[in-house]
Structure 1
Amino acid sequence: MSVDSVANQPQAKAITGPGEPSTPAFGANLPPWPQVDFAEFGEVEIKPVSRIQKLTGAFLSRNWLTIPHVTHHDDADITALESYRKARNEANTAVKLTPLVFLLRAVVRALQEFPQFNASLDGDGKNIVLKKYFHIGVAVDTRFGLLVPVLRDCDKKSVEELAFELAAISQKAREKGLSMAEMSGGCFSISSLGGFGGTGFTPIVNAPEVAILGVTKARLAAAPGDDGGVSWRKLLPLSLSYDHRVINGADAARFAAFIGTVLADPQTLAG
């Protein structure tokens, strides 16, 4: 599907069943957006909204309005992971392993353990489609706007293979943009703000997926040491947003805790 075809899809219509009165489309009765001449209050500059921003904004608005979002927050101890990752990078300078590639592998393990997260509601919401493949979308900040390339068959790739693929597709997204094919077919998405900061946020589920994982900047935290002193641990904040029609709070807590458990044992994620 091309960007043009997505942009030209028909707008939501009234919902009508046999013998039932017409029901306005969701959001149809919202008040209009306020029209303000901001120049009355001071100097302004007008910049057009980019085409990608228009498309992304429309999809995000739909997802936010129609999906009952809940966000679960947790911390993952990545002290051992950071030591292991840095040692791997020193031993092999050909590819840079970022925390994100280990997180990709951890998410796959979690999706295998909790298949309700690797699912979608079908078009009429009557069935849940459980997927047997593991294609993960990764949000990339570009000059065109937010793009989400999908890395396919992440369960079959090593962290080195994922690192190469992620670096290549991210570079293409920033320099040239991506086709709809390269952003389609995802099972689950990751949005990482670790390079910028923050302590947590509420990522919006990327329909028809049912969950998305947000991560922010890792921080040091004091913990009791085995010798009775203080042990400094590196903690990665996790923000898991999910569709409450498919996933409940206990599931989300177990899913996030499981990711923390597997990240704490990085050698099992290397692949």
Structure 2
Amino acid sequence: MTDMLTHLSGLAPFPDYDFNEFGETETVALSRIQKLTGAHLGRNWIAVPHVTHHDEVDVTQLEADRKAWNDAHPEAKLTPVILLVRALAQALAQFPTFNASLSSDGKSLVLKKYVNIGVAVDTPKGLVVPVLRDASTRPIADLAAELVQLADKAKAKGLSMADMAGGSMTVSSLGHIGGTAFTPLINVPEVAILGATAIQLRPYPDGDGAIGWRKMLPLSLSYDHRVINGADAARFVRAIGAALLAGDLVPA
């Protein structure tokens, strides 16, 4: 890392513009969260060789099951994000190198026996990542309720370091806004991050040769290429898709 930063120090500096030459401007201070996030993500992007794998998963039946659950349980609604959290947790059990961290000297891999999933939350002061613990075993309604509580806490008064520590992997969803794909930056010391965008309607041939429509969820997996190769990344996203298709994520 030191050698890399020394090499980067030889690059030309960013120009210091006086933007008032071009018109009226206003300067506003970055929030503490924005400054911390920027510093960490800047380091992560420089130090970690990112690759992003994109795929789509058919969630037509899952969305029907989720809607039926929410209609029957308005006090305990499930979001697509919490179902993705559960599917990711299940996939991590099959792929231990994704539930890992690279040692600081880069010579060994720490394999985690716990499955804690971080979920990126957008707040007025910047992005934070609360962690849902034991995400593969706890009742999914409990996970959904806790995520709501943590998101509300993040927006109202902020999260403690304990709320954000100990993640296995992070989910970052833009599905409530839109988009079809993006490149999420890895939340080091994790070795991968899963991005999701808005569910898309896609034409699909049915058994009679006619065209029907399916609900497809775009997924974007960014991974540390020092730890994970492209083939395993593709298999991992397929495993997440299989979990979403299995039909058992939404309680009966």
Question: Which TM bucket (shorter chain)?
Answer: over 0.9
The corresponding residue for 1:233 is 214
| Equivalent in 182, 187, 194 of residue 206 of structure 1 | 187
1:262 — aligned with what? 243
1:52 and 1:150 mapped to 2: Cα distance? 17
- Distance in 2, Cα, partners of 1:191 & 1:71: 13
Counterpart for residue 170 of structure 1: 151
Quick one: distance in 2 between partners of 1:104 and 1:269? 12
* Partner Cα distance (2:37, 2:251) in 1: 34
Deviation of residue 119 (structure 1)?
0.5
TM-score, normalised via structure 1 length:
0.89
Number of residue pairs aligned between Structure 1 and Structure 2: 252
Q: Percent identity?
A: 56
Residue equivalent to 1:219:
200
Amino acid at match of 2:220: S
Q: How does 1:1-20 map to 2 (within 5 A)?
A: 14=2
How much does 1:33 deviate? 2.1
**Preserved CA contact (<8 Å) 1:105 1:269:** no
Q: CA deviation at 1:231?
A: 1.8
- For residues 199 and 46 of structure 2, the distance between their equivalents in structure 1, rounded to whole angstroms, comes to 31
- Give the superposition deviation at 1:268: 4.6
- Residue of structure 1 in register with 2:30 after alignment: 49
SS of aligned partner of 2:136: helix
Check conservation: 1:215, 1:238, Cα contact below 8 A. Answer: yes
Hey, what's the Cα distance between the residues in 2 that align with 1:140 and 1:110? Answer: 22
In the alignment, structure 1 residue 114 sits paired with structure 2 residue 89:
no
Question: In the TM superposition, what whole-angstrom CA distance separates every residue of 1:144-175 from its partner, at most 9, and x where no partner exists?
Answer: 10001111111121210111011100111111
- Cα distance change, pair 24–96 in 1 and its aligned pair in 2 (3 A): closer
| SS in structure 2 at match of 1:133 | coil
Amino acid at match of 1:224: P
- 1:171-186 residue pairs with structure 2 within 5 A? 171-186=152-167
SS class of match (2:65): helix
The change in CA–CA distance for 1:54 and 1:263 in structure 2 (over 3 A counts) is same
Correspondence 1:103 to 2:84: yes
Structure-2 change in CA distance of 1:44 and 1:229 (3 Å): same
CA RMSD between the two structures: 1.5
Contact 1:222–1:232 (8 Å) recurs in 2: yes
Query: Is residue 133 of structure 2 the alignment partner of residue 152 of structure 1?
Result: yes
User: Does the 8 Å CA contact 2:193/2:221 hold for their aligned counterparts?
Assistant: yes
In the superposition, relative to structure 1, how do residues 26 and 149 fare at CA in structure 2: closer, same or farther (>3 Å)? farther
1:27 to partner: Cα distance: 2.8
Task: Measure how far apart 1:228 and its partner are.
Answer: 2.3
User: For 1:65, which of 19, 28, 46 is the aligned residue?
Assistant: 46
Q: Does 1:134 align with 2:90?
A: no
Q: When the two structures are superposed, what TM-score results if normalisation uses the length of structure 2? A: 0.96
Counterpart in the other structure of 1:92: 73
Is the alpha carbon distance of 1:130 and 1:77 closer, same or farther for their aligned partners in structure 2, counting shifts above 3 Å? Answer: same
SS of residue paired to 1:132: coil
| Cα distance between partner residues in 2 of 1:196 and 1:149 | 20
Is 1:191 matched with 2:172? yes
Q: Kindly state the Cα deviation for residue 88 of structure 1 after the two structures are TM-superposed.
A: 0.8
Whichever of the two has the greater Rg, that structure is 1
CA contact (8 A) 2:66 2:250 kept: no
Change (3 A) 1:263 1:100: same
